[in-house]
């Protein structure tokens, strides 16, 4: 032992020993009625919680200390965890009297729970309608394995994906805490940096440790029965996750009954930018909330379980026809049977969170009221089933079968627990009279101690024949039997003389001392017995965990379906036709969120969309700013997504050919922290689309190439559209909104490209947005009018109009407000004229005609450059840049 350790007080030695075992966690150390923190933890807790920082004498040193009363744990613990900290709660596990009897100066203490952002059972940390996942990832070569679990519900899943798709998988899970191997601490991939990370010892990821841990937990010889035996990379991640959960919870995990395979191939692929741009669960603004998102419109669920499942459905649209149609048919049945749906909703509102209730029961965190809530919730099952059991529909019938009544669970709780029990297990009065004989006797003794002694006295008097026998009590001897000397010969042999008086003797018996102890400690004993009885009942109910979880999933599914039906009924949605083809045909489609946020008297203007791979594959959509191009793109993506999660859609009619992926490239943003400009982010997103789209995808492009110069941007946009048209493997249905009116020329060049525009009207130099998508291309962006609407100073607006007029008339008489004449027009005209002469000269030397069949590559580039330019729209600087590029090509050709 070091000198420093010797100087520590016994309490601080114990503290440091436990702290060393839980490095990386804030240690809340129970001392009497307080939780105390010391040293660095104390300074951190004082700062984060705003509590007083004091000092404690520690063998001569003054150690920083901060603490709070033990009853305030539920107030302060969530605050620390929400800030991303891991917190270990260290309790006194024996009474001070027990320690004293054992000759120890301090009581034994143990960490009973470690709460982390991803592993918690605390109601104050959990959102009722959101899963709280902890996830672990591991990769080997190009294959990544992932495991994720919600300890509060018992869900545990694994998946394997190509390493380059791990980002998408993590975004679909959105874990509250991500586990990685310690050896990655200084080499974490960039796409994982935003997660709350915890690093696990490297040995946990080695050998068969993880696999053996899983089979031990599930008590199986292998994982074949779960269908995940072949996911060897995922086994490592799952083992690390299970190790972490066991280390933090320090309790039975009997509610984690199965490990399931998360089949990413069953769900539509949605990358991170698509989820953000379509605003599925959070708005696109920084720190976005759920207000103004798709889930805010769709979530009319009545239970917490339904709310969590709905979020999963939104983030994981289906790709297979049968389950989609099954959901749609069930929604239709509930939609047309309005009265049935209303009654189902009423009953569901009375159902508690079965998933989290049974989880708390399994891990030993339940209180008596949790059991009563479980019983009452299960009692709603037959009532809920009776409301829709006459609806002969496949999925609803399946839900009916899975909603087991679990009468045995209800009866066990009903016969044991009082109707309104206390929340604390230590307060007693949990069980009904008649449930347990010993408990009844203890309660009887505690409530009727004097009467009980009187009964004993009468029994002894009758047994001995001593009518004058008395039972008394004093603090020295406790309860005693007093017999006068007159009846001394009648005293039985088993009476033990304790005190002699002048005219009598006082006796005790083992039975009387036992009764005395029971009377004096009956209340305490009854509370202890109730605690033990509750533990027995809890363990018994925990044995039904899998059945309760099955009922919970069925209830959640029913809740999601009725929510879809309710939303469809009130918002006038239609049932989409789902087909295994490549056509999307939407009649009078609407944006589900925007239509609900418009002010009264400002109706949403619906639009038709038709696209299919062999006809109108690429829709080039032009029109002015603010006309509604972006809304049309987004509403199309949302309608397709809604259809494939099994929900009705905001349209008059819709035919949706199954889509495997939705991609979006919307708006301008940067990633300065990673050194990525707006344009680089834009190109990264475009590259992701071109590299991962298939013929069955839906691509929504809202401005491509706007982050760079006009010619560069137009060239990229043009080439991208051609690529999507000409490459069969990625020839996806595409809506391409753009300000590059030049792209309208593509319709004349390619069979599957068509032009549309969002129409407007001009009146008194003002623009009126009609919000209507019509056939044909636009040739004007009305940018100055929009700038005027935005409130730019009138002098700027008038000057912009003047410059635009000069540009359009090719005069470029750019006399500024000071009267200075710029020579832009001359430069522009000279540049274009010079470029033409250079081309003509070179062509005379090298070839007889520009349309000769065989052209060398440099000549083709010259021609392409000139064909792509529009002198009517070029600025002087762009003209000079073009001349420079052409000059370089000529020199290269020479």
DSSP string computed for 54-102: EEEEETTEEEEEEEEEGGGHHHHHHHHHHTT--EEEEEE-S-HHHHHHT
Structure tokens at 319: 């790709």
Structure tokens at 262: 């998360």
625 known member of a binding site: yes
d(CA 555, CA 354): 9
Asked whether 704 and 686 are in contact (CB, 8 A), the reply is: yes
565 with 613, same domain? Answer: no
Region of 620 please: left (phi>0), alpha (psi -120 to 50) or beta.
beta
Looking at the domain assignment, is residue 222 inside a domain? Answer: yes
768 with 869, same domain? Answer: no
Whole-number pLDDT of residue 250: 79
660 with 771, same domain? Answer: yes
Looking at the domain assignment, is residue 277 inside a domain? Answer: no
Asked whether 886 and 865 are in contact (CB, 8 A), the reply is: yes
Looking at the domain assignment, is residue 34 inside a domain? Answer: yes
d(CA 392, CA 398): 10
Site of tokens 């350790």 = 5
d(CA 528, CA 439): 10
Instruction: State how far the alpha carbon of 357 is from the alpha carbons of 368, 369, 538, 544, 658, in Å.
Output: 11, 10, 11, 12, 38
Instruction: State how far the alpha carbon of 337 is from the alpha carbons of 243, 562, 822, 869, in Å.
Output: 49, 11, 73, 61
311 with 164, same domain? Answer: no
Structure tokens at 500: 């002699």
Residue 28: strand pairing partners: 89
Looking at the domain assignment, is residue 761 inside a domain? Answer: yes
We report the CATH number of the domain holding residue 49 as: 3.40.1170.10
389 known member of a binding site: no
We report the CATH number of the domain holding residue 775 as: 3.40.50.300
We report the CATH number of the domain holding residue 138 as: 3.30.420.110
142 with 260, same domain? Answer: yes
777 known member of a binding site: no
Looking at the domain assignment, is residue 576 inside a domain? Answer: no
Nearest Cα to 242, choosing from 225, 267, 223, 224?
Answer: 223
We report the CATH number of the domain holding residue 481 as: 1.10.1420.10
The domain of 718 spans 586-781
Q: pLDDT of 182-205, one tens digit each?
A: 999 989 998 899 899 999 999 999
382 known member of a binding site: no
Asked whether 68 and 7 are in contact (CB, 8 A), the reply is: no
- Three-class secondary structure of residue 266 per DSSP: helix
Contacts of 178 (CB under 8 A, 6+ apart): 118, 134, 135, 136, 137, 170, 192, 195, 196, 197, 198
86 with 9, same domain? Answer: yes
385 with 331, same domain? Answer: yes
Looking at the domain assignment, is residue 486 inside a domain? Answer: yes
d(CA 525, CA 443): 9
* Domain count along the chain: 6
628 known member of a binding site: yes
872 known member of a binding site: no
776-790 per-residue burial string, b: 16 or more CB within 10 A, e: under 16: ebbeebbebbbebee
Nearest Cα to 731, choosing from 752, 705, 755, 703?
Answer: 752
Instruction: Report residues of the chain scoring pLDDT below 50.
Output: 1-4, 670-675, 811-837, 839-840, 842-855
Determine if the pTM surpasses 0.75: yes
Looking at the domain assignment, is residue 656 inside a domain? Answer: yes
Nearest Cα to 224, choosing from 236, 209, 214?
Answer: 214
d(CA 378, CA 446): 35
- Three-class secondary structure of residue 879 per DSSP: helix
Residue 634: strand pairing partners: none
Looking at the domain assignment, is residue 294 inside a domain? Answer: no
565 with 590, same domain? Answer: no
136 known member of a binding site: no
203 with 98, same domain? Answer: no
Contacts of 271 (CB under 8 A, 6+ apart): 167, 168, 171, 663, 688, 692
604 with 743, same domain? Answer: yes
106 with 142, same domain? Answer: no
Whole-number pLDDT of residue 715: 85
629 known member of a binding site: yes
Asked whether 428 and 526 are in contact (CB, 8 A), the reply is: yes
388 with 487, same domain? Answer: no
Nearest Cα to 195, choosing from 120, 117, 273?
Answer: 117
| Boundary (domain end) residue, out of 571, 606, 628 | 571
Q: Output phi, psi for 114, to 5 deg.
A: -120, 120
């Amino acid at each position: 032992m070091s000198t420093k350790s010797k100087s520590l007080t016994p309490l601080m030695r114990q503290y440091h020993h436990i702290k060393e075992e839980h490095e990386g966690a804030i240690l809340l150390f129970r001392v009497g009625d307080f939780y105390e923190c010391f040293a660095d933890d104390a300074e951190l807790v004082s700062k984060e919680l705003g509590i007083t920082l004091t000092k404690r004498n520690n063998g001569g040193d003054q150690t920083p200390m901060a603490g709070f009363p033990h009853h305030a744990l539920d107030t302060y613990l969530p605050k620390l965890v929400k800030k991303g900290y891991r917190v270990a709660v260290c309790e006194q596990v024996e009474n001070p009297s027990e320690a004293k009897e054992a000759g120890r100066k301090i009581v034994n203490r143990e960490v009973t729970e470690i709460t982390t952002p991803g592993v918690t059972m605390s109601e104050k940390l959990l959102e009722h309608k959101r899963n709280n996942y902890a996830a672990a990832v591991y990769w080997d070569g190009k294959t990544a394995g992932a495991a994720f679990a919600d300890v509060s519900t018992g869900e545990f899943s694994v998946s394997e994906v190509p390493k380059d798709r791990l980002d998408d998988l993590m975004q679909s899970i959105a874990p509250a805490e991500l586990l990685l191997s310690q050896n990655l601490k200084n080499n974490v991939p960039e796409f994982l940096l935003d997660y709350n990370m915890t690093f696990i010892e490297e040995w946990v990821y080695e050998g068969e440790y993880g696999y053996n841990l899983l089979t031990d937990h599930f008590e199986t010889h292998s994982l074949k029965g779960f269908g995940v035996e072949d996911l060897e990379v995922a086994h490592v991640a799952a083992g690390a996750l299970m190790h972490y959960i066991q280390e933090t919870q320090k309790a039975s995990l009997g509610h984690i009954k199965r490990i399931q395979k998360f089949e990413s191939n069953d769900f539509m692929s949605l990358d991170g930018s698509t989820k953000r741009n379509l605003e599925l669960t959070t708005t696109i603004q920084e720190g976005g909330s759920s207000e103004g998102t798709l889930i805010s419109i769709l979530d009319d669920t009545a239970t917490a379980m339904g709310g969590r499942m709905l979020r999963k459905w939104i983030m994981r649209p289906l790709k297979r026809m049968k389950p989609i149609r099954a959901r749609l048919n069930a929604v239709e049945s509930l939609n047309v049977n309005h009265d049935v749906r209303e009654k189902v909703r009423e009953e569901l509102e009375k159902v508690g969170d079965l998933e989290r209730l049974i989880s708390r029961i399994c891990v030993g965190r339940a209180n008596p009221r949790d059991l009563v809530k479980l019983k009452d919730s299960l009692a709603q099952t037959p009532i809920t089933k009776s409301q829709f059991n006459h609806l002969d529909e496949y999925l609803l019938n399946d839900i009916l079968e899975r909603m087991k009544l679990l009468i045995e669970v209800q009866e066990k709780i009903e016969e044991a627990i009082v109707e309104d029990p206390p929340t604390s297990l230590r307060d007693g009065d949990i069980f009904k009279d008649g449930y347990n004989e010993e408990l009844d006797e203890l309660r009887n003794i505690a409530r009727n101690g004097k009467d009980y002694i009187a009964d004993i006295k009468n029994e002894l008097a009758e047994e001995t024949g001593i009518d004058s026998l008395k039972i008394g009590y004093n603090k020295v001897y406790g309860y005693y039997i007093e017999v006068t000397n007159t009846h001394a010969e009648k005293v039985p042999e088993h009476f033990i003389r304790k005190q002699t008086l002048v005219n009598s003797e006082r006796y005790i018996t083992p039975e009387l001392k036992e009764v005395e102890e029971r009377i004096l400690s009956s209340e305490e004993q009854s509370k202890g017995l109730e605690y033990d009885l509750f533990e027995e009942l809890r363990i018994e109910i925990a044995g039904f965990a899998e059945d309760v979880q099955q009922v919970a999933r069925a209830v959640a599914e029913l809740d999601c379906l009725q929510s879809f039906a309710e939303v469809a009924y009130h918002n006038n949605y239609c049932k989409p036709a789902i087909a295994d083809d490549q056509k999307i045909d939407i009649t009078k489609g609407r944006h589900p969120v925007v239509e609900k946020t418009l002010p009264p008297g400002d109706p949403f203007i619906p639009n038709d969309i038709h696209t299919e791979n062999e006809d109108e594959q690429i829709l080039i959509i032009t029109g002015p700013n603010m006309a509604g191009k972006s809304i049309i793109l987004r509403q199309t993506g949302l309608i397709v997504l809604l259809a494939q999660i099994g929900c009705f859609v905001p349209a008059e009619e819709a035919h949706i050919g199954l889509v495997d992926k939705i991609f979006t490239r919307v708006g301008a943003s940067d990633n300065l922290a990673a050194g990525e400009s707006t344009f680089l982010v834009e190109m990264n997103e475009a590259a992701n689309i071109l590299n991962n789209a298939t013929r069955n995808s839906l691509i929504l492009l809202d401005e491509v190439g706007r982050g760079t110069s006009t010619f560069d941007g137009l060239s990229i946009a043009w080439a991208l559209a051609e690529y999507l048209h000409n490459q069969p493997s990625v020839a996806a249905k595409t809506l391409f909104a753009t300000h590059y009116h030049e792209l309208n020329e593509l319709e004349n060049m390619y069979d599957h490209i068509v032009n549309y525009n969002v129409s407007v009207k001009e009146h008194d130099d003002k623009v009126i947005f009609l919000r209507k998508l019509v056939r044909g291309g636009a040739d004007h962006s009305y940018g100055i009018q929009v700038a005027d609407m935005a409130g730019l100073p009138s002098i700027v607006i008038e000057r912009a109009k003047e410059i635009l007029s000069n540009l359009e008339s090719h005069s470029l008489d750019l006399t500024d407000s000071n009267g200075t004449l710029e020579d832009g027009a001359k430069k522009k005209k000279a540049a274009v004229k010079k470029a033409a002469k250079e081309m003509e000269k070179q062509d005379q030397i090298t070839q007889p005609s520009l349309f000769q069949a065989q052209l060398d590559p440099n000549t083709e580039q010259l021609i392409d450059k000139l064909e792509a330019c529009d002198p009517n729209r070029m600025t002087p600087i762009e003209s000079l840049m073009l001349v420079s590029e052409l000059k370089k090509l000529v020199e290269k050709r020479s």
